[in-house]
Structure 1
Amino acid sequence: MKNLNHILYAITLSALSAASFAKPATEASVEKALKLSDIRGALAQSQQDMRPVYDLQAEEMLKNIFKTPALNAEQQKAARQIAEVMGSFSNQLISDPKFMQMIKAVYMQTFSEEEVLANIQFLETPLGQSINKKSSKMMSEIMRNSITMSAQLMQDPAVQREMNRKIEKILKPLLQADSAQ
């Protein structure tokens, strides 16, 4: 039994010491990983890929506002303008240097230096570059499909009624308090 305790103690000590020796990611290695992953290019491509999503969101928003299954020509024009505003705002966000700093900070909080270096090593290979590009495209496709599925779900009158009922329940006390003032 005493031998088993010594073994467990040694294993625990090894695990704790290995975890405590994991170096935090350095800014230099994170910058290299982000450059190799072409994060700026991926963000730009994502913005381009998101345009149909913004169009769909704007259309759905106006359909809900006007309580109509289809938009007339004037409403469609307004939807395109709203989609343009959404895209412009998103472009402004990802162009802000603070946005890239935020990505670096999250990367540094998430990965150890060893993990970043392993990712760099992987991204320096043709296979790593191929997977990186395809992953970015895949995430854009997942986002696009998710929004399409969500919009389709919101077309269901039962879902709309349930959503409206829940939102009204949440807003009712606020509206009553506001009207009392």
Structure 2
Amino acid sequence: MRWKFKIKPSIYRALLLSTSVLMSSALMAQPVQEKTLDHLIELSNFTGMIAQSNQNMRPMFDAQAEDILKNNLGVLELSSEQKHVAQKISLLLQKTNEAIISNPKFLHMIRKNFQQTYTEEEAQAYIQFLSTPMGQSINRKSSVMTNNILQETLAISNEILNQPLQMQKFNEQLASLIQPLLLKSKS
């Protein structure tokens, strides 16, 4: 025996609309909840890693301080007195960076980026991962790796930009960009 179902078009549309609404709400990602966000930030130790990264960046601050002095004094090598001043500048750069990363605006920025990056489901999965010893190990190693990449990138950038030809080319391009503004402001 064969059954025949005849559904009225209006009921069919209502059923289809209801199903699509239920499916779309199930497919839409939920924003990360505050409690989940707090737990994720705590487990990721993001602020601690940034503070450690600041300590690890000391060689970069040293190089930056020496470059600042060399550029401002117009010398290629620093005397012992100038190296001593460069160390003080390096410490100033590090303390300035520490003040920035401990500022409430910085911490708010971290929260905002976590919120914009992860859905509730992703945050829960990340928390599960970070709750394992392997997850914590990978998290620490990722921080070290990122810091190493940053330092090496800056070193390569400084090396390339401090080549006389490269510096001359950069200065010429910079001057060509600024010159029209200077001429315009004089008139």
Q: Is TM-score (shorter-chain normalized) higher than 0.5?
A: yes
Residue of structure 2 in register with 1:117 after alignment: 124
Q: TM-score, normalised by structure 2?
A: 0.81
In structure 2, distance between residues paired with 1:148 and 1:95:
26
Q: Indicate yes or no: 2:88 matched with 1:81.
A: yes
Q: How many residues align?
A: 167
Task: Please identify which structure carries the higher helix content.
Answer: 1
Structure 2 unmatched ranges of 5 or more:
1-19
Per-residue deviation, 1:109: 1.1
Structure (1 or 2) with the larger CA radius of gyration? 2
The 1:18/1:71 distance shift into structure 2, 3 A limit, reads farther
Q: Indicate yes or no: 2:168 matched with 1:158.
A: no
Partner of residue 56 from structure 2, selected from 32, 46, 49: 49
Aligned CA-pair RMSD? 2.0
SS of aligned partner of 1:61:
helix
Structure 1 unmatched ranges of 5 or more:
1-12
SS of aligned partner of 1:25:
coil
SS of aligned partner of 2:29:
coil
Residue of structure 2 in register with 1:170 after alignment: 177
8 A Cα contact 1:27 1:104, kept in partner? no
**Sequence identity of aligned pairs in percent?**
37
1:102-146 CA-to-partner distances (Å, cap 9, x unmatched) read: 111111011100000000000000110000000001111111111
Q: Indicate yes or no: 2:141 matched with 1:134.
A: yes
Per-residue deviation, 1:89: 1.1
SS of aligned partner of 2:57:
helix
The 1:162/1:128 distance shift into structure 2, 3 A limit, reads same
The 1:74/1:170 distance shift into structure 2, 3 A limit, reads farther
The 1:19/1:50 distance shift into structure 2, 3 A limit, reads farther
- The letter of the residue matching 1:88 is K
Q: Spell out structure 1 runs of 4+ moving beyond 6 A.
A: none
Residue of structure 2 in register with 1:31 after alignment: 38
The 1:136/1:68 distance shift into structure 2, 3 A limit, reads same
Per-residue deviation, 1:48: 0.2
